[in-house]
Structure 1
């Protein structure tokens, strides 16, 4: 018999060792994600939206698709999910601090939402294939929008400010920069209708892509056991079920109906009086009439001349004023990197400018990231000027990891037409406590100055710019441990709220005065003009919100069919157009003003001409309405009586902006308000009464 040998017993697992091992693995995963966040070319997301070269835009989209596919693969790995699932189920996970626990729950939800709740086999394989197909559809849909070069030719008679071609006709693109001014100012109804229909029929190739996306989303949700895609999406949002969102939207629609009808009656009367400019169809108020007669009403009854107002808001000076407001409220200092010798090789276009942002001395004077300022502060020659202006001391030694805010303001070929903010690199905390600083970019498409005349902003442009700058500030001042929760990386139906709240400053007398600077005389805007501008804030707001309701209701309707067969048989185009007409009570080309007869409602596919509903905003467009509710609640409760109060501004920064998505957003909101949020301020603003809780 062979001699037996005794060996030591292998180390046995203990509860403590299991927890320690899992925590180490999670920490390693977190650090890996942090390194991935800063390892890519930080400009890569921008190229697809802003590069002049079609090949570079295409390559950037391919990269975006690869990153999405990598995310799908990562969150469909059983081995990683088992680790996360084990830690989440361990009772000791409840001892984690709120941010770590929130990260764990968020990570777990991502795995489940990507099919890891399904048993390995055909169903999970099908779910994975659907996710990849949806990724491809989204990239193609966006590419069609970005590369659209549609245009029409119209008579110069309706376009007085444009230079005609030799035949007296002008080319008009189907980009917002052309579309909105003409719809606002073209007196001839036929011209407006023609442009309206051309705009609503662009990107025809997106119609089948949209339909296929709706079908795939519904199938994916049902594979996971959800009733529909809306139920799948809303599971971890502020409003946690389609039923609650439907109730909110239905209640708002009911409250707005009478107000919208009264506003429409007033506009119809104006159209009747202006019948000379309306050779046919004067008895109806059509979808292409709204912007023109809204402008006419503001001019005739409220003495609002948007062109005259714009003369007081040249882009550069207005931006400088906006930064002064952000400085005062949030304790920030902005200065520009010297373009002459530091930035020429760091940007994708010569117009792009780069800025740093610092805390002022009251907030520690430390580097924040990169911010936006129009003032041409050099990091060297003008440091004394900055210090004197803000009463601070600035060290010009660069931080170890400087990050930048890129400001790309002007329209050009190949650039996306509407303004938006993109995070280029998130901020987070390293294991040793050091911070990685963020960088962010604001992309706009304002008209480039011609000659010596600067770009002038209409008031609506100014509101939009202030909103997007708000996203940029949110991106820069957050202080989160994990890159997952950086800045605007909150649940969808909260992420617009901070910027929506800041829009209120564009309707207040003191901020408007401080932002204004006549492009020729330097004079501030007259108080009488400010008073008139503030007076029209609520004019036709009922119709504005009914239009927002149209898109929100369509979005929820198309994403919660009663069965999969139902979405297969849905006429998406007719549904979109009939809802538009029935909710706003404006006539479309078919002449139908109600949804009872959908015949002839195939005149346009507006849902396929913007990306929101195919992005994360699918089953989430209501977020814009909800953001107004939360934003007005915060503004009325805290800022209305003293909008430039630096103490409250810093409190808002600490309690809302710096939190990012690092804790449940309803906690962020209720902590700041000191109570649960309600609709009261929103309904009072619209003069439609009532008070209710959202959730």
Structure 2
């Protein structure tokens, strides 16, 4: 259920801490006659069975409308993380596993399950990455670094989620912004003047940035949005310094080396070379795109101009109007038809839970998911949709795994996955239903791709379930699913005007599809800025580099140099709201491009000729999506594609194949 009080969150967290300590005490007491059945399997079971409650208690901080509950959830995660770091650094537990590993290596013990073998291997690697092989004094330093890092990352995230800034504009300053957006703004009387309150939530800021005719308005939005989380700037400086020190203490050249050895890239050199080469190839194309924008404006293009000019260009040259397109994607019918696509491809059924639901907010939808046909249908898991913004809620779009699936010890039954999509789409108004912009439809497909990956997981061990794959593969399924939002036949079926129920016309679909790569190189360079910044701050190799690091200067210089678009000599430290860098993607933002190579290859090979190929949908499900990280990713990709993966489709998508 989702009705925990702040006190219950605190009490349950304390119970989890005590239970974990008692379990590890038991493992540590097993000094002799070590067996797989006595050590490894109970350890796996305990980890499997703990995940649901842990994830649920800490999820509240991202979605609860009650600040007391959000604060309790944050405090619980801080306390639990601190105590779990202590548990992860227990040398007595490490010694037990070390002896177990030695017995396996010598042939005295055997592990039948490949997943269980992998679990032991990953556990031993985790012990080493926590410094269990170091002397006591150094282990204490590692502990202090890990504890402080977790605390700082939690606060970074909380500051971003709790951000509630706004800008007041007059009606004249909002000229050009869609009326439905302006009408949704809270009105404030200031000195007898009626002003409109624009928050920095997506449904507010995107239409103003993209349609306000007044350049001063757009610049004000750009500068305000860039500085909305300034408290996080200092936090990030401390995070970067601690990560550098941790990596050095553990014997790595840099924090990137510490992180990337378990990815498909395997090392920072590969990641940096990949992004640098992509930047080199994209820059000439981006320069041509920027010249066209400059000609369109008749003057220099600044960052606050980009989306506005692009929208004007799309409307004038391609007859594509974002607001008009959205009228064909009312949320209710779009969700229904989108789910039908996944149902057909992967043999699923989504059943909405309309009564006796247990959710954390009245806006949340709950679905039971089944797999199979007719009498062979089986329960697969649960997915939640939390789709609209509210105060204190996570401000971007993401999929949150609440409970992983895994095989229970009886060998017959399973624990089923629970997953949640958290987005921020506009709510319905008195005159219109919630209408999705095309980019929001794409976002929905992307995040649901993560949810599907989570639901389809069929592993023995929770640690390898669903999206628990290498960071530079986790985006692959979602990126492959984005292609469906550009296919003519799919768009025809997916669209339904909220007044007439008519689908998009062939002409409008053709126009929309023709815009897919408009300014594609410029968009890609913006993402490359994030990826290159992320790697730059995490590949510091000596104290002097750390001492000389000026994060603000690096961020702003890279922004102007890589994206090619000027910020008008303004210093905008928007890294304070770069949530990925403190939320699990540290030294991993390159993954969005790296994963895309595989995602594009999968779509071109399996679905480009027939987007609704049931045969290939099942292959994708069974060979890749269901396996999580339980088998070698590259081996499964080769099996799926019938060959080694290539970058041909990726290069073609960016116009780099010529």
| TM-score between both structures, scaled by the size of structure 2 | 0.90
Helix, strand or coil: the match of 1:288?
Answer: coil
* Cα distance, 1:271 vs structure 2: 0.7
Return the index of the structure with the highest Cα Rg.
Answer: 1
The Cα RMSD (Å) is: 1.8
- 1:354 and 2:380 correspond: no
Q: What's the counterpart of residue 373 of structure 1?
A: none
- Among 234, 252, 263, the alignment partner of 2:278 is 252
- 1:430 and 2:369 correspond: no
Q: What's the counterpart of residue 106 of structure 1?
A: 122
**C-alpha contact (below 8 Å) 1:331/1:362 kept by paired residues:** no
CA distance in 1, matches of 2:197, 2:387: 23
* Cα distance, 1:81 vs structure 2: 1.8
Q: What's the counterpart of residue 520 of structure 1?
A: 499
- Among 143, 147, 151, the alignment partner of 2:166 is 151
Cα–Cα, structure 1 residues 157 and 19, in superposed 2: closer, same or farther, change >3 Å?
farther
Q: What's the counterpart of residue 490 of structure 1?
A: 469
CA distance in 1, matches of 2:374, 2:469: 28
| 1:333-412 map, 5 Å | 333-339=349-355, 342-343=356-357, 346-361=358-373, 364-370=376-382, 405-412=383-390
* More moved, 295-304 vs 348-357: 348-357
Q: What's the counterpart of residue 88 of structure 2?
A: 75
| 1:152-551 map, 5 Å | 152-160=167-175, 161=179, 162-163=182-183, 165-166=188-189, 167-272=193-298, 282=299, 284-339=300-355, 342-343=356-357, 346-361=358-373, 364-370=376-382, 405-433=383-411, 434-551=413-530
Q: What's the counterpart of residue 609 of structure 2?
A: 641
Q: What's the counterpart of residue 573 of structure 1?
A: 552
**More helix by percentage:** 2
Cα–Cα, structure 1 residues 95 and 482, in superposed 2: closer, same or farther, change >3 Å?
closer
- Among 47, 52, 56, the alignment partner of 2:65 is 52
Q: Which runs of 5+ in 1 are unaligned?
A: 1-16, 273-281, 371-404, 591-600, 691-695
Measured against aligned partners, the alpha-carbon deviations of 1:326-383 in whole angstroms (never above 9, x if no partner) come to 01100001111232xx11xx2121222211111132793111012xxxxxxxxxxxxx
CA distance in 1, matches of 2:479, 2:133: 36
Cα–Cα, structure 1 residues 360 and 112, in superposed 2: closer, same or farther, change >3 Å?
same
**C-alpha contact (below 8 Å) 2:174/2:217 kept by paired residues:** no
**C-alpha contact (below 8 Å) 1:331/1:363 kept by paired residues:** no
Measured against aligned partners, the alpha-carbon deviations of 1:389-409 in whole angstroms (never above 9, x if no partner) come to xxxxxxxxxxxxxxxx22222
* Cα distance, 1:101 vs structure 2: 2.3
**C-alpha contact (below 8 Å) 1:228/1:559 kept by paired residues:** yes
Aligned residues: 613
CA distance in 1, matches of 2:424, 2:58: 17
CA distance in 2, matches of 1:171, 1:177: 13
**C-alpha contact (below 8 Å) 1:144/1:205 kept by paired residues:** yes
Measured against aligned partners, the alpha-carbon deviations of 1:118-147 in whole angstroms (never above 9, x if no partner) come to 22x221110110000001101111111111
**C-alpha contact (below 8 Å) 2:34/2:100 kept by paired residues:** no
CA distance in 2, matches of 1:495, 1:94: 31
| TM-score between both structures, scaled by the size of structure 1 | 0.85
Cα–Cα, structure 1 residues 257 and 19, in superposed 2: closer, same or farther, change >3 Å?
farther
Q: What's the counterpart of residue 21 of structure 1?
A: 35
Cα–Cα, structure 1 residues 512 and 477, in superposed 2: closer, same or farther, change >3 Å?
same
| 1:596-607 map, 5 Å | 603-607=571-575
CA distance in 2, matches of 1:105, 1:49: 33
* More moved, 564-573 vs 182-191: 564-573
